[in-house]
A = this chain, B = another copy of it.
Amino acid sequence: MDLLEHQGKALFAAAGLPVPAGRPAGTGDAAAAVAEELGLPVAVKAQVRTGGRGKAGGVRVCRTLDEVRAAAGEILAMTVRGLAVEAVLVERAVAIAHEAYLAVVLSRAHRGPLVVFAGEGGVDVEDLARTRPEAVVRVPVDPLLGLCDYQARDVAAAAVAAAATSRTPARPTPLVEPAATAKRIAAVVHGLWRVYHDRDATLVEVNPLVITADGDVVCLDAKVTIDDNALWRHPDLAALGPEPDPRERRAREAGLSYIVLDGDIGVIGNGAGLVMSTLDQLAAAGGRAANFCDVGGGASAAAVALALELILSGPGVRAIAVNIFGGITRGEEVARGLIEALKTTPAAAGVPVYVRLAGTGAAEGRALLAAEGLVNVRLVGDVAELVRLVCAAEGA
C-alpha cells in the first residue's frame, strides 16, 4: 500500500527524521490557514499515490497567502497519472544547497533490503543509474543483522563526497562542516531503516534528500510503500489506505483478485498467470478485457458466482470468457458457481458465456453445465477456441 507524502512524513517524524514543518489541507482556505501558521514562503504539494506530480504541476512554491489559496485550489482539482489528488501538503519552504537521492528498498535479487544512494537527486536519478551506475551507492542490508552503523557511515561519506562535487546547483556551495553533515546523514539512513523495518515497508524513498546551505539535512519528500501482507501488524497504517473501487473491495473480501479494466470482455480464470495469459491472448486476437479476475486456488462456487456477478454489474460487458485449469480448483465447483449466478442475475440474460474447463473436475463440471442447459453458456475445448469465440461474440 502506497502512503501519501504527508502520511510517510508522519512516520518519518515519529522515527526522528528531519522533515519540514507542514500539515495537509483539503481546501484552498485550509491551505492558506496552514501557511499563515507556518510563515511564508511555503510549498504546496499534491498528495497523490503515484510519482510524477512535479512534472504535472503539482508542486508550487508560494510567497503570499493568496498564491497559496489559488495553488491549493488548482492542485486539489488535478489528477496525476489518472489518480485524483487527495489533499495538498503545505510545508515551510526549504533553502536547497544540494539534492541527493536516498532510499531503502526491497531487492528481489538480494532477497532483502538495499540502501540506495545517489549524489544527484530529482527526477533524473534513473538516468543517472543508467548512464553512470558507479554514481549510485547500493548497500545490501543483512536481514538477520539489520542496518549496521558502518553501512550508514559509508552512505553518509558518499553523500558528503557527492555534495562536494555536486553539479546541482550549478555552483556548488562547500559544506560548512562536512563531518557534522555526515553524522546527520548517517542518522537519516538509520531513521529510514527503522521506518522500513519497524513498519514493514518495501520502499522508503527520499527524493530529494536536501542539504541546506548551513549543512542541515532535510527529507523534502517521502515515498513509502507498506507491505500489504503485513498490514495486520500495523492497524494504524491499514486505516490510511485509499477508498478502493467498491467492486474491487467486495472481491477482495471474498478472496478474489479483481481489477476493473476498460474493455468489454469479462474474464474469469484461476491463477494470476493463467488469467494474464488469457488477457494476452485476447489482446493478440483484438479483444479488450473488461476486468482481470483470478478466483484463486480452490475457489468455491460462491466465489465464482460473485466473480460473475461483479463482471455483470459493470457497464458494457458483451461476452464472458471463463478459463479454468483445475488443480486445487475443481471444475464442478466452478460450474456450480456459474449456474447459480447465471440463474439469479438478471443482467446475465443475453450475455454469452464461453467456458473452458480442464484439469481436476473438468468432466464433472462440463456435465453439470450441460445438464443445466443454460441458453447463453457454451462449452469450448481449448483456449484458442475460447479466445476466438469470445472475440467474435464481442464483434457481433
Contacts and interface: CB of A to CB of B under 8 A. Distances in A.
Interface of A: 144-145
How many monomers of this protein are in the complex? 2
Contacts of A144: 144-145
A144 B143 CA distance: 9
Q: Per DSSP, are chain A's interface residues mostly helix, strand or loop, or mixed? A: loop
A33 to B, nearest CB: 43
Contacts of A145: 144
A374 to B, nearest CB: 50
2 contacts: A144-B144, A144-B145
Nearest to A144: B144
Nearest to A142: B144
A140 to B, nearest CB: 16
A100 to B, nearest CB: 31
* A-B complex: 2 closest residue pairs judged by Cβ atoms: A144-B144, A144-B145
A145 B146 CA distance: 11
A144 B145 CA distance: 6
A362 B145 CA distance: 46
A145 B145 CA distance: 9
A83 to B, nearest CB: 40
A144 B144 CA distance: 5
A377 to B, nearest CB: 49
Nearest to A146: B144
Nearest to A143: B144
A201 to B, nearest CB: 21
A187 B53 CA distance: 49
